[in-house]
Chains A and B, each alone.
Chain A
């Protein structure tokens, strides 16, 4: 198990290094000079040069890469070109919205998907299964911003249980924060839950056909006991894979939902930074997201080994 973890950790570090080079290179070769963008098309050549020097754009690219990486390692993400504030602070502020939102949505999605998937698998082909599968079909097909607008219409405008948007902030108490994230989390969770429930169901159905399920029944387990004791844990491997992918998506992919609910999250930050060629912010956020994705994959790998003893011995 230790060897397995160390190996995963090593591959994590290598992935991060490779990712940082790729991100830096891609953003550097993208057209658009931040200095000329900030000063407009009529700027004087010497003013541009002065701004470039100030932003640190005049040093060689390799050196800029290492300056950037070195900064990242000690938590110095540089200074935003447009806002002239530390990028680290900007990201941290947004993280306090995006991370709780992603976790909240993931928890909701799991809470909906697991029971739904297991229920459907246990009643394969029966009305309960058909109903759940129909609902998930809808969940996959309908975009999450539509759910978002419906939720606002029903729960914010008609019932007035929640605010229609904006974020209360954590300093007014945990409850206020959670309250203002609830509708966006539900809107994000529904399509994810639909996918996850389908994966859970099909993974379980595969497992139900396995020989050891028949063995379990021959021992005297009821259908339900066999499903819970022998089926669910074996079905977790594909489910965990999807869960990992979904978390990564939720962290950065909630940009539309953030717009609908006026949330100051990471998605909006990236969107604004790209529009204003604030490359240093884009680089840092993308790097952070890559880090999050790779970390989640690492955790999923460790979770595999917890679920399946065969993986612990594999190197």
Chain B
């Protein structure tokens, strides 16, 4: 019998249909993944099971948990169920915990709010579950606060809260999306282990097909609030009956065709760069430093696509800021075309003209009160002769066409565009002063796979058309693998390995590179599954 059975679930918020006739089942001890792109309704499905929907939501259909119809329960009855029979883990470990309460209190709260045990027993149980999720109280006392833990550790605390009362069903909504690959692998292992040990059902929501194929027994693919296909993992990947599933799969493993790598002729040279941050001053001790970038040297050749990979905190963002001339370095030199990027006490504008950047967040990196024409012409202030009148209009039209938008879009505001279109606008903004080098700082990380594939294709086209050099900074190994010629692997402020991308990925030399590549979930080969 199914533990969770969703039948014909319809959900609307005001007049919008969010879910349409969704069917889904989870058996005890089974891992079911719901996947799809943003707006597919996968998170709403999870929240519907918890009955934690926005107030304006109305629904019909049936959600049965262990035989109980959840949609008929009162709010008070649901409160008794949440945390006890169903646990939930969320995407953002950094904000999912209350910053002013200790982790011990927060784990114990799950137990105490259900009056399941006495305080002493609850504390005992909190120690047990925290140990089980890999935070033994000897090293992580219950009195720790969330800000004293890393993202992965916080996610372990959230999981401990969710499993403290051994719920029959655990719902995990993008539990590893915000984490580094090595941490992601550990958390997925933990979840799998818990399912086996406790016989829980696990409903995992993720956009990442590689994660899905790694962990799930069965998969449900959703689009626009509807289930398009579902079935056992191997069979679903082998058959892929629905074209949308096929498209998702292909977009996830999308390969772009890059022009051949150019002969080595350095455009950007980085020599022995060191960037220190002062640590908080301790009384009666000399000022300490954190070395975020530690004697980094590399050359970027004209026309080349170079990748920079590493986990959070490895120093790649600091290095990016230094390359852009936004910060002074403590030692070493950064030269673009032989000129320093940082001169005196500020960025060297003559050099900055040749270099532009595209950031991760397509929502936060535009002023919402400016129109597109003004947004993309912002870099004009770097030019000595700023184009005006018809020349300006022509440049704007050319750039918008180059990135696949219409020249008519120039008069629109940024909220009128989707995430993928915004990232195209960001690229147009970088391109409009015809730089030689563009830095992409996690530029496709926030995009859905199908959109990401299109943007990657666009980047490949543009680098040929405009003779561009790319530095591609990302934590996503599969993206870096397809879009770069050469790659640098960074760890704790140092470049631990560099070389031709395919060589580094197929035959990594450094232990850390091997760990990274081993931890990254991979998409199955379709042929292998059929066999």
Please give the residue numbers on chain A whose beta carbons come within 8 Å of chain B beta carbons, in ascending order: 3, 210-212, 214-222, 225, 229-230, 233-234, 307-310, 313-315
Asked if A220 and B95 make an inter-chain contact with CB atoms under 8 angstroms apart, the answer reads no
Establish whether residues B113 and A221, one from each chain, have CB atoms under 8 Å apart when the complex forms: yes
By a CB distance below 8 angstroms, the chain A residues around B75 are 222
The reply to whether B98 and A234 contact each other, CB–CB distance below 8 Å, is: yes
- Are B147 and A219 in contact, with the CB atoms below 8 A? no
The smallest C-beta distance from B244 to any residue of chain A, in angstroms, reads: 29
* Bound Cα distance from A251 to B196, whole angstroms: 65
A124: nearest residue on chain B (CB-CB)? B55
Instruction: Tell whether, in the assembled complex, residue A220 and residue B83 are in contact, meaning their CB atoms are under 8 Å apart.
Output: yes
Closest CB pairs A-B (n = 4): A220-B83, A219-B83, A211-B95, A218-B88
What is the bound-complex CA distance between A212 and B92, given in angstroms? 10
Inter-chain contact B96/A215, CB cutoff 8 Å: yes
Q: Does B465 contact A (CB under 8 A)?
A: no
Return chain A residues, CB-CB under 8 Å to B82.
217-220
Q: Which residue of A lies closest to B99 (CB)?
A: A310
Q: For the A-B complex with A220-B113, A309-B100 known, give 4 more contacts whose Cβ atoms are closer than 8 Å.
A: A212-B98, A216-B98, A310-B145, A315-B280
Interchain CB contact under 8 A, A220 and B98: no
Query: A217-B82, A220-B79, A220-B80 in contact; A308/B97 too (CB < 8 A)?
Result: no
Contacting residues, chain B, for A214 (C-beta < 8 A): 52, 90, 96
B84 close to A222 (CB less than 8 A) = no
Q: A211-B92, A310-B99 are in contact. Are A222 and B76 (CB under 8 A)?
A: yes
> Chain A nearest CB: distance from B522 CB in Å?
30
Nearest A residue to B83, CB-CB = A220
B531 interface contact, C-beta 8 A: no
A67 to B158, CA, bound (A): 62
In the complex, what residues of B have CB within 8 A of residue A308's CB?
99-100
Closest to B51 in A: A217
Contact string, B144-169, partner A, CB cutoff 8 A, digits 1/0? 01011000000000100110000000
Judged by a CB distance under 8 angstroms, whether B110 is at the interface is yes
Do B100 and A234 touch (CB < 8 A)? yes
* Chain B positions 78-113 with a Cβ under 8 Å from a chain A Cβ: 79-84, 87-88, 90, 92, 95-101, 109-110, 113
Instruction: Tell me the bound Cα distance from A216 to B82 in angstroms.
Output: 10
Residue of A whose beta carbon sits closest to that of B95: A211
* Residue of B with least CB distance to A233: B100
Q: Which among A212, A220, A309 is the interface contact of B110 at CB below 8 angstroms?
A: A220
Cβ contacts under 8 Å, A210 to chain B: 95
Query: How many angstroms from the CA of A314 to the CA of B26 in the assembled complex?
Result: 46
Q: Smallest distance from the beta carbon of A199 to chain B beta carbons, Å?
A: 18
Chain B residues with CB under 8 A of A212? 95-99
Contact bitstring B94-135, A, C-beta under 8 A = 1, else 0: 011111110000000110011000000000000000000000
Q: Determine the chain B residues whose CB is within 8 A of the CB of A230 once the complex forms.
A: 98, 101
A294 to chain B, nearest CB (A): 23
Set of chain B residues within 8 Å of A220, measured between Cβ atoms: 79-84, 110, 113-114
Query: Which residues of A sit under 8 angstroms from B385, Cβ to Cβ?
Result: none
The reply to whether B145 and A217 form a contact with Cβ atoms under 8 Å apart is no
Which residues of chain A come closer than 8 Å to B98, judged between CB atoms? 212, 215-216, 230, 234
Asked whether, in the complex, the Cβ of A215 is within 8 Å of the Cβ of B76, the reply is no
Contacts of A315 in B (CB 8 A): 280-281
Most chain A beta-carbon contacts within 10 A, residue among B76, B79, B162: B79
Bound: A219/B52 CA distance, A: 11
Set of chain B residues within 8 Å of A233, measured between Cβ atoms: 100
Q: Select from chain B the residue with minimum beta-carbon distance to A125.
A: B55
**A303 CB → nearest B CB, Å:** 13
Give 8 CB contacts A-B under 8 Å: A211-B95, A217-B52, A218-B90, A219-B113, A220-B83, A313-B147, A313-B148, A315-B281
* CB of B50 closer than 8 Å to a CB of A: yes
B528 within 8 A of A: no
B379 to chain A, nearest CB (A): 35
Q: A309-B100, A310-B99 in contact; A219/B145 too (CB < 8 A)?
A: no
Q: How far does the alpha carbon of A57 sit from the alpha carbon of B196 in the complex, in Å? A: 88
Are the C-beta atoms of A218 and B50 separated by less than 8 Å?
A: yes
- With beta carbons under 8 angstroms apart, the residue of B76, B161, B281 that contacts A219 is B161
Q: Is the beta-carbon distance between A234 and B99 smaller than 8 angstroms?
A: yes
Which A residues touch B76, using CB under 8 A? 222
Give the distance to chain A from B52, nearest Cβ to Cβ, in Å: 6
Contacts of B281 in A (CB 8 A): 315
A313 to B80, CA, bound (A): 37
Q: Contacts of A211 on B, CB cut-off 8 Å?
A: 90, 92, 95-96
Residues of chain B in range 447-487 having any CB-CB distance to chain A below 8 Å: none
A311 → chain B, closest Cβ, in Å?
Answer: 10
Cβ of B283 < 8 Å from any Cβ of A?
Answer: yes
Q: Are A215 and B161 in contact (CB under 8 A)?
A: yes
CA distance A181 to B76 in the complex (A): 46
For B143, give the chain A residue with the smallest CB separation.
Answer: A309
Which residues of the partner chain B approach A310 to less than 8 Å between Cβ atoms?
99, 145, 147
| B92 contact set on A, CB distance < 8 A | 211
Residues of A near B97 (CB, < 8 A) are 212, 215
Rounded to whole angstroms, the CA-CA distance of A214 and B80 in the bound complex is 16
* List of A residues within 8 angstroms of B113 by Cβ: 219-221, 225
- In contact, A218 and B81 (Cβ under 8 angstroms): no
> Which single member of A218, A222, A225 contacts B87 (CB below 8 Å)?
A218
Closest CB of chain B to A129's CB: distance in Å?
13
Name the residue of chain B whose CB is nearest to the CB of A230. Answer: B98
Given contacts A215-B158, A222-B76, contact A307 B100 (CB under 8 A): yes
The B29-56 residues at the A interface (CB cut-off 8 A) are: 50, 52
In Å, the complex CA distance between A234 and B513 comes to: 42
CB distance from A245 to the nearest CB of B (A): 22
Chain A contacts for B50, CB-based, 8 A: 217-218
> Once the chains are docked, how many angstroms separate the CA of A229 from the CA of B158?
17
Residues of B within 8 A of A219 (CB): 82-83, 109-110, 113, 161-162
Residue of A3, A218, A307, A313 near B83 (CB, 8 A) is A218
Give Cα distance in the complex from A313 to B279, angstroms.
13
Q: How far is the CB of B429 from chain A (nearest CB, A)?
A: 31
